[in-house]
Structure 1
Amino acid sequence: IWHYLFALRMPGGVAYPRGFFFVNTGVTLLFIGGGSLFESFRLRDGGEAVAEMAGGHLVHPSSTDRKERRLLNIVEEMALASGIACPRVYVLEREAAINAFAAGYHPNQAVLAVTQGALTRLTRDELQGVVGHEFSHILNGDMRMNIK
């Protein structure tokens, strides 16, 4: 009788305590909701938070580094051609791979991050292609969807 008072009989002889599925569903939803709130709080600053979490450093407009200047010139050209505000530019110094991303909630508040590998190993034309690809993400709203 004890067994039937505190457990449900499932097919195959497996017994679960009363409320087992309700409690586990509630705990799972709490973890999902809590994690979502936590990440939303961490990303409240938009693209800058994402770039800094990825290990990027901001490239200042007054930078004298030749490769950073080249990157800034390319980004400024693309911003002018696309008709949006020039995004803040970050470099991921510890990344030797060739990659880049755009992040942010709105096109005029976007950031663009480029890996050190892309900065040092690509020609100007190749880097312009990578930056142009990232601008397409900014203009199409892909970055807003990805950050959410």
Structure 2
Amino acid sequence: MTSEEMAALHDRSFTTPRAWSAVEFDALLASPGAFLETATEGFLLGRVIAGEAELLTLAVAPSARRAGQGRRLLAAFESNARARGAGSAFLEVAADNGPAIALYAGAGWETRGTRRAYYQRPDGSRVDAVVMSKPLA
């Protein structure tokens, strides 16, 4: 999957947080510890640094949701992060993204905190980020 394809899918998948550009994906993919997991109509970008994994973003095309792609991408992320030496993982998700929070919770991720007014919506309002983590060891 090219950075342009990722940016287009990200744009179809997100309003909060804002969609990332192809240039941003290129920069993230070139950063230390970054890795990409792909599915037919989705992708996940993560990284491992100093024994900790971060799930940077997970996007599944709206038309392909609830068909298991997100679960498969999440499982691949966890396996790849473990193989890269991560003992734990964390992520941030918009507090109003119920389906994503349910996906993560169903895979054993637990809420660890909240970042108040972390994301900005297109209308300028703010929404909290839920911080979730999971041991991988």
TM-score, with structure 1 as normaliser:
0.27
TM-score, with structure 2 as normaliser:
0.28
| Structure with larger Rg | 1
* Higher-helix-fraction structure: 1
